[in-house]
Amino acid sequence: MTGNDRTDGGPIGPRLGVLIGDGIGPEIVPAAVAVADAAVAAAGAAPLEWHPLPIGASAIDENGTPTPAATLDALAALDGWVLGPHDSAAYPEPFRSQLNPSGTVRRHFGLYANIRPAVAFSGARAVVPGMDLVVVRENTEGFYADRNTVAGTGEFMPSPDVAIALGVFTRTAVRRIAVTAFELARRRRRRVTVVHKANVLRLTMGLFRDVCREVGRDYPDVAVDDLHIDAATVHLVRRGADFDVVVTENMFGDVLSDLAGELAGSLGTAPSLNTSDDRAMAQAAHGSAPDIAGRDVANPIAMMLSTAMLLEWLGDRRGDAVLRDAGYRVHAAVRSTVVRGITTPDLGGSTTTSGFTAAVVAELAAGG
């Protein structure tokens, strides 16, 4: 993958970072890039300019760290990024115990919103066939220890037998994620469900619930309800098709989005976009799956749809309807390919990663 510098004087599209990652990353990230290029060409948008950058295990070998400072500096000059999965559990110490690459990038650039759709695919093995929801996850605070203190982490041990974790909730962070959720709901089915545990964590989760409801009063056209996290998991399984936008704190959002992705068919189909007000990073919701790496059987759908979300986000930010259309085309082509029975083994099919990618590219070239 190299930059798409034009020699004919034509316009150049967004400049995007490519971070391959570990495990199945070298298979699914190039697949997403190929599909994005095909969609942009089919839509008639300016070609994308790709900038590969080191991250993860290969960066440790080449740069002595999984997240080189030079990579972060280069990302700052680009319009958006596509990040593959990482296998930080396999890194040598001290890197295994440090903040992982995706967390480092999110924290460095203040990517406070994690947008995770879960949409059932016709022709796939969805547990909840009618599911079409989005989990809006606050990405900077909550009970994740790597994201709630200025220095160090929010975990400590006053004695060898006692471990304590801090949970941080601020009105500013809750308000901005709530606004993200309600704005998204206005473009969908106009319903927001706030998930919390305020009956037990009265101050922290109570603040989250109450601020979300305060923001909701600014959106009288959007219906609002709320659920305790334990009830939310049950209702997702029993009536997942009834949900539209779910907004919740960091840890609950991580758990609920994985559950919703599997209910919709497979984590292999679960995309994700990390955003701030002015930056965005496409990142599939699943992990690096080292057990199937290099076998050409990984499902690239989540990475493809994450990249499509990035194209749509960039189109919205730039006021570029053609770029938005390119993102929509990826969604349509992926769905059409699945409907035709072309799927990877996790969805019950026998198609390879490369075969599925070729089928989606062909669908796009044919006007899909």
Structure confidence by residue, pLDDT tens digits, 133-189:
999 999 988 887 565 566 666 788 889 999 988 888 999 999 999 999 999 999 999
For residues 288 and 22, the answer to whether their CB atoms sit within 8 Å is: yes
Per-residue model confidence as pLDDT tens digits over 256-288: 999 999 999 888 999 999 999 999 999 999 999
Q: Give me the catalytic one of 197, 226, 325, 346.
A: 197
Tokens 């490369």 -> residue = 354
87 is known as an active-site residue = no
Q: Mean pLDDT across the stretch 282-299?
A: 95
What lies within 8 Å, CB to CB, of 319 at 6+ separation is: none
CA-nearest of 332, 287, 197, 187 to 245 is 187
Average pLDDT value over all residues in the chain: 92
| CA 236/CA 131 separation, integer angstroms | 9
**91 carries an active-site annotation:** no
Q: Note if 79 is an active site residue.
A: no
| H or E element, residue 49 | strand 49-52
Active site residue 258: yes
pLDDT (0 to 100) of residue 5:
43
Count of residues in the chain: 368
Choice among 61, 73, 225, 230 that is catalytic: 230
Given 22, 87, 112, 144, which residue is catalytic? 144
333-359 per-position pLDDT tens digit: 999 999 999 999 988 899 999 999 999
Q: Is 202 helix (H, G, I), strand (E, B) or coil?
A: coil
Who's near 309: CB < 8 A, 6+ residues apart?
115, 117, 271, 272, 273, 282, 327
Tokens of 353: 């990663």
Residues 81 and 16: beta-carbon distance below 8 Å:
yes
Can you tell me the distance from the alpha carbon of 310 to that of 320, in angstroms, rounded to the nearest whole number? 13
The topology under which CATH files domain 1-116+270-368 is Isopropylmalate Dehydrogenase (3.40.718)
CATH 3.40.718.10 occupies which residues in the chain? 1-116+270-368, 127-263
- 144 is a catalytic site residue: yes
In the chain, the percentage of residues whose pLDDT exceeds 70 is 94
Q: What is the CATH T-level fold of the domain 127-263, as seen in this structure?
A: Isopropylmalate Dehydrogenase (3.40.718)
Tell me the per-residue pLDDT of 122-142, one tens digit each, with 9 for 90 and over. 877 889 999 999 999 999 888
Cα 251 to the center of its chain, rounded Å: 15
**How many angstroms separate the CA atoms of 319 and 313, rounded?**
10
